[in-house]
Chains A and B, each alone.
Chain A
Amino acid sequence: MSKEVFSGAEIVLKALKDQGVEVVFGYPGGVTLPLYDEIYKQNFLRHVLVRHEQAAVHAAEGYARSTNKVGVVIVTSGPGATNTVTGLTDALMDSIPLVCIAGQVPTQLIGNDAFQEADTTGITRSCTKHNYLVKDVNDLARVLHEAFYVARSGRPGPVLIDLPKDVAVGKGAYVSADKVKHRTYKPRVKGERAAIQRAVKLLAAAKRPIVYAGGGVINSGPEASALLTRLTRMTGAPCTLTLMGLGAFPASDPQFLGMLGMHGTYEANLAMHDCDVMLAVGARFDDRVTGKLSAFAPGAKKIHIDIDPSSINKNVLVDVAIVGDVMAVLEDIVAEWQETRSRIDAKALKAWWVQIEEWRGRKCLRYKPNGNGSTLTKPQYAIERLFHHLKDRESYVATDVGQHQMWAAQYIGFEQPNHWLTSGGLGTMGYGMPAAMGAQFAHPKATCVVVTSEASLQMNIQELGTIEAYKQPVKVFILRNNTLGMVRQWQEMFYEDRLSESVLEQKPDFVKLADAYGIKGLRATKPEEVDDVIAAMLAHPGPVVVEILTDPRENVFPMIPAGAAHNEIILGAGEADDTDEGSAEGMVLV
């Protein structure tokens, strides 16, 4: 071993190189100056200067989600660190692997209310998977490698490293990644053999099976999606995906029922309600998915595959629990299925599909092109057309949060994993544009689109500056309705249409705003213009902001009101009036 010593800042750069990091998103400040000086001196690492630290985290999320790599963020102390809290919480909820390096005031000043000091490890303890305060430069290399390991292993998540300025300047030894072994954190990867055998037996005896898969499949890697597809086709069972799982199973496959849950399809939710065996893969029985817990798939035996033991039996008690990585477990299940020559009873399966086709026949995603007496573009139509134009391109779609997010999830079909970037658990408005930007840095040749609204976009609009500065051809696709659409929809449905603080002004003019940033702006004021505008947007080599003026009274359907069961799904506006206003239990839920 050499006794060579390096500054803390040099150690950070060496560790990032060791970990194969190519892009970081960040913003410099007083205490990170030593680190930024090292960034200046090297050229393996591309640093993207964002306009706000929250956006740096979302960009790293987009980068991570679209590549299955760990996203990296560098911010300064105090406000730099506190600005990351929303992004870190978002990554924790959606299991996105991130490493965030935050500067901190020198160790001797910690606790003194120094300039730009915040208790960063204290503040981020509950919004990270783990965090570290490094007080000794000789611990730094180990902590960095551990952070990457913790971020990507088990159920992935964000890890924060608080780095005091004196540690960044101080000299210490470097250890490489292969020399660092974690003392305690060793998540289980392989599933228990007996549980896998029981699962296969249960699945083979099913008469009305369903596969319900989520974001864990995406986290496990593209191979996991391929195995999920294989197993679903082998069994002949229908497959439904959560919001986070879209792309894990090809949307064009006849066995795909669409997304499930609050705004899921009629066929997916009814099939979940009536199934007799449910195979839950990398999904966590979120309240948006289950609806009323006591009426959730009441007749079903449930098999749950999850890498996180705390996700099992948290909301829903299951019959067979398999703790392990989705890919490893599915590999074993497929092998066991073949070895035992398992088959689901063909007659029962056929009857099940007859029932499902009947539900499908309701065509729950139909909408009235002239509904509400409005001649404005229907948001569903704009997204359908966008999907049509994106079909033959290598494209990544990010969204913000609200009605447009649900329409994008309903009307865009994803054939592969990692191409859909959305804030599922936390529901962070302002996630979309930086996430699309992060994906664009990872996939320079691909078309990266963010479907957004004027409200969500304005929560991180400053990133138009970053997109332009780095000439990233991100396409910002705004469904403009000048309302907080989802809030408005609930006010209309559950609060007698009292639109309390949910109507926005008609400003800004996004075409002019784009122009101010040096970005091309386009607008479609009527449905006939939508196709041309999308074509022009995709034909332009640089970033584009597109504003589609849409019908502000349009609602997202189908809908399972909060606290209702899957079979109480509302298909359209006419039907909503017939149902009672939801249970008292439902009113307190969100």
Chain B
Amino acid sequence: MNAETAAIEYHTIGVLVDNEPGVLARVIGLFSGRGYNIESLTVSEVDPTNRMSRITIVTSGTPMIIEQIKAQLSRLVPVHRVSDLTMEGPHVQRELALIKVRSTGEHRVESLRIADIFRANVVDSTNDSFTFQVVGSTDKLNAFIELMQPLGLIDVSRTGVVAIARGNKPL
């Protein structure tokens, strides 16, 4: 295998860490310091009793780089577990977006119609705007945002990807 010409892959990695000050900075610093890519990153406490947080990172690189990323993450002292969800079998990946569209007349109605198809909910409304909440895969959100563009899209806020493996096993 030639390391330089190998294809770039996208991997979703779940990382269980101690919820302590600076832990996110360590993870981000590792990525910037070693020149790895972050496509998406989310973090939140998932186990308050044991003070543990879960970080979900979508990253890209050659297979050799992906292996390095996982090894380097495992090396961080507050990291409990690193799991490559892309490698380890089927998993569910979701993202949430809040999308603001300003329009009137036919465009306003059209945006509602599309939102219905995408099962997006209206979470705020004024005389000339809607804010939609849409949940789904990154591709679905991209498609929705693209369709809203000509209808008066003015603001987007996305959570980034969270992911979990299918089946009955924990991370």
Distance in angstroms from B7 CB to nearest chain A CB is 16
Q: Which residues of B contact A130 (CB under 8 A)?
A: 77-78
Q: Would you call B145 an interface residue if the criterion is a C-beta within 8 Å of the partner chain's C-beta atoms?
A: no
Q: Would you call B25 an interface residue if the criterion is a C-beta within 8 Å of the partner chain's C-beta atoms?
A: yes
Chain B residues near A (Cβ < 8 Å): 1, 3, 18, 21-22, 25-26, 29, 33, 64, 67-68, 71-72, 74-75, 77-80
Distance in angstroms from B17 CB to nearest chain A CB is 8
Q: Would you call A427 an interface residue if the criterion is a C-beta within 8 Å of the partner chain's C-beta atoms?
A: no
Q: Which residues of A contact B68 (CB under 8 A)?
A: 310, 313-314
A50 to B97, CA, bound (A): 57
A183 to B74, CA, bound (A): 14
Instruction: How many A-B residue pairs have C-beta atoms within 8 angstroms? Tell me.
Output: 42
Residue on B nearest A183 in the bound complex, by CB: B18
Residue on A nearest B2 in the bound complex, by CB: A294
Q: Are A122 and B25 in contact (CB under 8 A)?
A: yes
Q: Which residues of A contact B72 (CB under 8 A)?
A: 310
Distance in angstroms from A16 CB to nearest chain B CB is 21
A513 to B169, CA, bound (A): 70
Q: Would you call A126 an interface residue if the criterion is a C-beta within 8 Å of the partner chain's C-beta atoms?
A: yes
Of listed A121, A133, A183, A308, residue having the most chain B CB within 10 A: A183
Of listed B3, B75, B77, residue having the most chain A CB within 10 A: B77
Q: Which residues of B contact A313 (CB under 8 A)?
A: 64, 67-68
Given contacts A126-B29, A317-B1, A317-B3, contact A121 B75 (CB under 8 A): no
Q: Which residues of B contact A312 (CB under 8 A)?
A: 71
5 A-B pairs with least C-beta separation: A310-B71, A130-B77, A309-B71, A310-B72, A185-B77
Residue on B nearest A122 in the bound complex, by CB: B25
Told that A183-B80, A313-B67 touch, could you supply 4 new A-B pairs with CB distance under 8 A? A125-B22, A133-B21, A313-B68, A317-B64
Residue on B nearest A311 in the bound complex, by CB: B71
Distance in angstroms from A219 CB to nearest chain B CB is 16
Contact with B along A126-139 (1 / 0, CB 8 A): 10011101000000
Q: Which residues of B contact A129 (CB under 8 A)?
A: 77
Q: Are A309 and B25 in contact (CB under 8 A)?
A: no
A314 to B21, CA, bound (A): 29
Q: Are A310 and B75 in contact (CB under 8 A)?
A: yes
A53 to B115, CA, bound (A): 62
Q: Which residues of B contact A131 (CB under 8 A)?
A: 22
A586 to B1, CA, bound (A): 23
Distance in angstroms from A568 CB to nearest chain B CB is 20
Ordered by A's residue number, 13 sampled pairs between the chains whose C-beta atoms are within 8 Å are A125-B22, A125-B25, A129-B77, A184-B18, A184-B79, A184-B80, A185-B77, A308-B75, A310-B71, A310-B74, A313-B64, A313-B67, A314-B71
Partner of B26, one of A125, A185, A314: A125
A130 to B29, CA, bound (A): 13
Q: Would you call A150 an interface residue if the criterion is a C-beta within 8 Å of the partner chain's C-beta atoms?
A: yes
Q: Which residues of A contact B22 (CB under 8 A)?
A: 121-122, 125, 131, 133
Distance in angstroms from B51 CB to nearest chain A CB is 9
Distance in angstroms from A342 CB to nearest chain B CB is 30
Q: Which residues of B contact A122 (CB under 8 A)?
A: 22, 25
Residue on A nearest B26 in the bound complex, by CB: A125
Q: Which residues of A contact B71 (CB under 8 A)?
A: 309-310, 312, 314
Partner of B29, one of A125, A150, A185: A125
A121 to B79, CA, bound (A): 18
Q: Which residues of A contact B75 (CB under 8 A)?
A: 308-310
Contact with B along A340-360 (1 / 0, CB 8 A): 000000000000000000000
Q: Are B25 and A150 in contact (CB under 8 A)?
A: no
Contact residues, A302-320 vs B (CB, 8 A): 308-310, 312-314, 317
Residue on B nearest A293 in the bound complex, by CB: B3
A319 to B77, CA, bound (A): 28
Distance in angstroms from B135 CB to nearest chain A CB is 32
Partner of B77, one of A126, A150, A308, A317: A150
Residue on B nearest A131 in the bound complex, by CB: B22
Given contacts A125-B25, A125-B29, contact A184 B67 (CB under 8 A): no
Distance in angstroms from A125 CB to nearest chain B CB is 6
Residue on A nearest B51 in the bound complex, by CB: A183
Of listed B67, B75, B78, residue having the most chain A CB within 10 A: B75
A317 to B67, CA, bound (A): 11
Q: Which residues of A contact B74 (CB under 8 A)?
A: 309-310
Q: Which residues of B contact A310 (CB under 8 A)?
A: 68, 71-72, 74-75
Residue on B nearest A310 in the bound complex, by CB: B71
Q: Which residues of A contact B80 (CB under 8 A)?
A: 183-184
Q: Which residues of A contact B25 (CB under 8 A)?
A: 122, 125
Distance in angstroms from A362 CB to nearest chain B CB is 33
A126 to B32, CA, bound (A): 11
A185 to B116, CA, bound (A): 49
Contact with B along A112-130 (1 / 0, CB 8 A): 0000000001100110011
Distance in angstroms from A507 CB to nearest chain B CB is 40
A121 to B22, CA, bound (A): 9
Q: Which residues of B contact A308 (CB under 8 A)?
A: 75
Q: Which residues of A contact B79 (CB under 8 A)?
A: 184
Distance in angstroms from A88 CB to nearest chain B CB is 15
Distance in angstroms from B147 CB to nearest chain A CB is 43
A312 to B21, CA, bound (A): 30
Distance in angstroms from A38 CB to nearest chain B CB is 27
Q: Which residues of B contact A121 (CB under 8 A)?
A: 22
Q: Which residues of A contact B18 (CB under 8 A)?
A: 183-184
Q: Which residues of A contact B67 (CB under 8 A)?
A: 313
Of listed B29, B71, B78, B80, residue having the most chain A CB within 10 A: B71
A130 to B77, CA, bound (A): 7
Q: Which residues of A contact B3 (CB under 8 A)?
A: 317
A314 to B69, CA, bound (A): 10
Distance in angstroms from B150 CB to nearest chain A CB is 45
Contact with B along A152-193 (1 / 0, CB 8 A): 000000000000000000000000000000011100000000
A1 to B141, CA, bound (A): 58
Distance in angstroms from B81 CB to nearest chain A CB is 9
A175 to B71, CA, bound (A): 33
A210 to B114, CA, bound (A): 67
A95 to B79, CA, bound (A): 20
Of listed A125, A150, A185, A310, residue having the most chain B CB within 10 A: A310
Residue on B nearest A309 in the bound complex, by CB: B71
Residue on A nearest B63 in the bound complex, by CB: A313
Q: Are B77 and A184 in contact (CB under 8 A)?
A: yes
A310 to B79, CA, bound (A): 14
Contact with B along A423-456 (1 / 0, CB 8 A): 0000000000000000000000000000000000
